[in-house]
Amino acid sequence: MQAFRNNELEITTNTVNGQVIVQVAGTLDGWHYQMLEESLRKQIVPGREAVIVDLTELVFASIGGMYALVEALRSVQYDIKLYVIAKGDVLRVIHRTRFDLKVNVCRSLGEATQLLLPYDSGAASKLLYPNMEEDEGDLPMAA
């Protein structure tokens, strides 16, 4: 796990079952652009096709924060496939800038994993519930 934290913003990167999730939480302002871009650029490695960017806990401090988000996403959009999880003002900014035509916008981690793993191999449930054991035993019989 990689992390960047300051008083306003926290960017953490986790890998769950081979899928990278970059979570951005807190208040984003224009001066955070380089930190966000750098965090995304670090995920561009040979063999990695996609990254999930979770923005559900992000708010904007100003219009500069909106600009910083769009520019950071734009800076890596051609290098790697992005699955962005967003809601509220963040989702509205992505739609209004038409950036939703360039990235896969999702409303939840479950939706992102379904898009990443289009065929039911069971991997989506493992991504959502990584601590669940493979074989939890038999299910109880119905009466």
Quick check: 139 pLDDT over 70? no
* DSSP type of residue 135: -
Homologous superfamily (CATH) for 2-127? STAS domain (3.30.750.24)
- The Cβ of residue 95 has, within 10 Å, a number of other Cβ atoms equal to 13
How far is it, in rounded angstroms, from Cα 114 to Cα 124?
6
Give the per-residue pLDDT at 68.
92
Give the per-residue pLDDT at 131.
45
115: Cβ–Cβ under 8 A, 6 or more apart, which residues? 83, 104, 106
Q: Calculate mean pLDDT across residues 128-138.
A: 46
- Nearest alpha carbon to residue 91 among 104, 78, 80: 104
Beta strands in 49-103 (DSSP E): 50-60, 81-85
- Nearest alpha carbon to residue 22 among 89, 86, 93: 86
136 in the Ramachandran plot: left (φ > 0), alpha (ψ -120 to 50) or beta?
alpha
Quick check: 120 pLDDT over 60? no
Quick check: 135 pLDDT over 50? no
Report the predicted TM-score, pTM, of the whole model to 2 decimal places: 0.77
Per-residue pLDDT of 2-56, as tens digits, reads 676 777 899 999 987 778 999 999 999 998 899 999 999 999 999 888 999 999 9
How far is it, in rounded angstroms, from Cα 115 to Cα 137?
29
Contact predicate 50/22, CB 8 Å: no
How far is it, in rounded angstroms, from Cα 46 to Cα 44?
7
Per-residue pLDDT of 75-116, as tens digits, reads 998 899 999 999 999 999 999 988 888 889 998 888 887 777
Mean confidence (pLDDT) of the chain: 81
Q: Regarding beta strands 19-28 and 2-5, do their DSSP bridges make them parallel or antiparallel, or are they unpaired? A: unpaired
Give the per-residue pLDDT at 2.
66
Give the per-residue pLDDT at 37.
93
- What are the domain boundaries of the chain? 2-127
